[in-house]
C-alpha cells in the first residue's frame, strides 16, 4: 500500500493513466472531476472515490481554488505503479 497527497492548482489535470492496483482517493480540499473510463463525475471535499486496478483514469481540478486529494494505492509488491494509455 502506498499513500500520497496530490495538489492541483485551479484548472490543472493529470494525464490519462492507469494504476496497477486499486485506488482510493479522498478529496481533502476543493472540487475535482474524476474520469474513469468514459464517465466523468464531480466530487467535493469529503468525497471518497474508488477506482479499480487497471481502469483508465484522469483527475482535474474544477474549482477556482487549489484542490488536494489523498491517494491510497493498493498494489502488489513490486508491480509498476502507473501506466499511461
For the chain, the structural domain boundaries read 2-68
Give the CA distances from residue 63 to residues 24, 30, 42, 75, in Å, rounded to whole numbers and listed in that order.
21, 6, 10, 30
What are the grid coordinates assigned to 76, written together?
502488489
Q: What is the pLDDT of residue 83?
A: 57
Q: What pTM was estimated for this model as a whole?
A: 0.87
For residues 13-23, give the mean pLDDT: 92
Average pLDDT over residues 65-83: 82
When the candidates are 1.10.10.10, 2.60.120.10, 3.20.20.70, 1.10.340.30, the CATH number that belongs to 2-68 is: 2.60.120.10
**pLDDT score at 58:** 97
Closest residue by Cα to residue 64 from 40, 35, 29: 29
Amino acid at each position: 500500500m502506498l499513500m500520497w497527497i496530490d495538489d492541483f492548482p485551479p484548472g490543472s489535470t493529470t494525464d490519462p493513466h492507469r494504476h496497477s492496483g486499486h485506488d482510493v482517493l479522498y478529496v481533502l480540499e476543493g472540487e475535482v472531476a474524476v474520469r474513469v473510463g468514459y464517465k466523468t463525475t464531480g466530487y467535493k471535499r469529503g468525497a471518497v472515490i474508488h477506482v479499480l486496478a487497471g481502469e483508465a483514469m484522469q483527475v482535474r481540478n474544477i474549482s477556482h481554488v487549489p484542490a488536494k486529494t489523498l491517494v491510497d494505492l493498493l498494489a502488489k509488491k513490486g508491480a509498476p505503479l502507473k501506466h499511461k494509455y
